[in-house]
Copies of this chain bind each other. A is one copy, B any other.
């Protein structure tokens, strides 16, 4: 009955064409070990839901796994644009469905709350809404009694959510410690299945002794894949920070297609295991400082 599995098996459970929501925020707490494994397994035609993302989207785009990205923002912050994402969108190779953070969150909430829509003021007055006029995925409305403008955000079905956390037990009870979920709870609540990579698998007693620190109840987590430093090169507060050096080297390599091909193979998808990947990037898997 254990939900503990391997990164390889967890990634294998994601079918081509799936809608995959990716946790974390920007350079924080992204499920990079799971994402790397999706790229290694050469998934095809994935539709990514990534509220505020960066390297995870870029790896999957570089790996040729992505059909469409639903996002509020994809960047490396001050370290630059996400190069493969940028190029793929500019060339039309990858489609983008444009949102803001809260429009996307509200679509996820409509899904998790099983409601026809969630209202927000997000997006009013911007060009984002016009992009959705045909599909009606988000639509501007006027409240009858008050005449107030709002945006109705319709359901967004998600096949799989991928999140990274500190600890889980065999039953799937999961802890981000301290409990800072960014917006990961929104994707977990909306997704049909959730896979969590974790820094370490612990005994259930670790949860029953501090139950107020538990982040996800076991019935919300379908599979647990151990991955020490599983957010690298992103951060996993407070265990480790993001590695600016990796971001910079990656961006540098991306200036030349051949250089990038080599870098992406040697430093990202080439290494057989997550441990090999960390070794290739000179990262210790020892206890967090």
Give the B-binding residues of A (Cβ under 8 A): 113-121, 136, 143, 145-146, 148, 150, 154, 178-180, 212-213
Contacts and interface: CB of A to CB of B under 8 A. Distances in A.
Contact of A179 (B113, B114, B212): B212
Contacts of A178: 212-213
A196 B212 CA distance: 22
A212 B150 CA distance: 33
Nearest to A210: B178
16 contacts: A113-B120, A114-B121, A115-B121, A115-B148, A115-B150, A116-B119, A116-B143, A116-B145, A116-B148, A116-B150, A117-B119, A118-B119, A119-B119, A178-B212, A178-B213, A179-B212
Contacts of A121: 114-115
Given A116-B146, A180-B212, 12 more contacts: A115-B120, A115-B121, A115-B148, A116-B119, A116-B145, A116-B150, A117-B119, A117-B143, A119-B119, A136-B145, A178-B212, A178-B213
A51 to B, nearest CB: 18
A154 B150 CA distance: 13
B154 A145 contact: yes
Contacts of A148: 115-116
Contacts of A114: 121
A117 B150 CA distance: 10
A146 B113 CA distance: 15
A59 B62 CA distance: 66
A95 to B, nearest CB: 23
Nearest to A238: B212
A178 B213 CA distance: 9
